Amino acid sequence: MRKLLGKRHSHFATLLAPLFVLAFSAASTFAQTPTPRPTPPDNGPIRVKTDLVTVTATVTDTYGRYISGLKKSAFTVIDEGEKQEITFFSDSDAPVSLSIIFDVSGSMSGEKINKARHALSRFIATSHPMDEYFLIAFNNKAQLLLDRSRDGEAVLRKLTLVEPKKDTALYDAVYLGVEKAMRGAHQKKAVLIISDGQDNASRYNFGEVRRLLKESDVVAYSIGIQGRNDAASELGLQGQAFLDEISNVTGGRSFYPDSDVEMDEIFERIALELRHQYSIGYTPKDFVPNGKWRNVKVKVKRPRGLPRLSVRARDGYYASPSSERR
C-alpha cells in the first residue's frame, strides 16, 4: 500500500511540476519593474503609475534644519485645487538612485575641479550606504564613466583620471543623467549636477531638458562652481539661471558656494536632505489621462512645540495615459 501511495504521489508531483514552474515564472515576470522608456523632452513633475502620483517632499524649519518624524496627518496635498486622500506615506531613511553629473570641460580647469572633487568625497561619506551611483562626466560630449555602482570610492577614483578640457555639453549630460536615474533600482531618484552651468556643445536644448525633468520623478540638485569673474559675466548668469530652473521645477535646490568650507557644507547638506525626505502618494479623484499639466501643492501643518515649517516639493505632473507613464 505504501509503495502504491508513493508511486501515486511521485506521479502526481511529476504532473504538477510544470505548473509550479509556470506559476513561478509568471510571478517573477509580474514582480519585475519594467525598464522605463526614454521620454521626449519638456518640463518637470511627479512619477505616475496607473493613476498613482508620488511626491518627494522636504520639510525644514526656520533655521533650515530638516524635520523628520512627522505623521501623514501633518501633510495636505492639493491637486488641481482639490484636496486629495494620501494613500501612501513613508519617512524612512531610504537609499537613492543618484546620477552624479560632473563638469570636466575647459571652464572647470584649475582649482575649480579640485575643490569639487574634494567636496564630492564629503557628500559620498554622508550618503546612505545602499545608494547606487551613475557617474557622468562631460566636456564636448557626455560620457558614462560608471554605470550602477554602490561603490562611492570607485566614483572618486574615476574622477581622478579625467582632466578638464574642450567645450561644455551640459544639457546632454543632464538628459543622460535623468534617464539613468529613472532606470535605477531605488524608488527615490535624484541627480547631482556639479558645473559652472555654461553650455556650448549640446544636441538637446534647455526646453527639452526641462521637459524631461518635469515628466520624471527625479529631484535635481545643482552646485554652481564659479570663479571670481564668472558670477558677473553673461555666461555665468546664463549658467546660474539654468541650474536654478532645473532644480526648482523638481523640488530640489541650487547652491553657489563662495568658499571651500561652504562647498563642503553644501555637499553634506544635500546628502542629509536625501536621507530626510518624505514620500507621499495619492490617486487623483478626477484623473483624466489627457496629457495635460496638473498643478500640485503640498502643505505641512506645524505640530505644537515646533517653529514654523516649510515644505519643498515639485509643483505638478503631466496626466499621461498609463501606457506612456514611467
Q: Given this model, what pLDDT does residue 197 score?
A: 78
pLDDT at 196: 79
What is the domain partition of the chain in residue ranges? Answer: 1-32, 47-91+277-324, 96-274
Number of Cβ within a 10 Å radius of residue 244: 16
| pLDDT attached to residue 139 | 92
Q: What per-residue confidence (pLDDT) applies to 31?
A: 35
Q: What is the pLDDT of residue 52?
A: 87
Spans of the chain, pLDDT less than 50 = 1-45, 47-49, 323-326
Distance (Å, whole) CA 177 – CA 193: 9
Instruction: Decide: pTM greater than 0.85.
Output: no
201-234 pLDDT per residue, tens: 999 999 999 999 998 989 999 999 876 565 555 5
pLDDT of residue 251: 94
At the second CATH level, the architecture of 96-274 is 3-Layer(aba) Sandwich (3.40)
pLDDT number for residue 61: 94
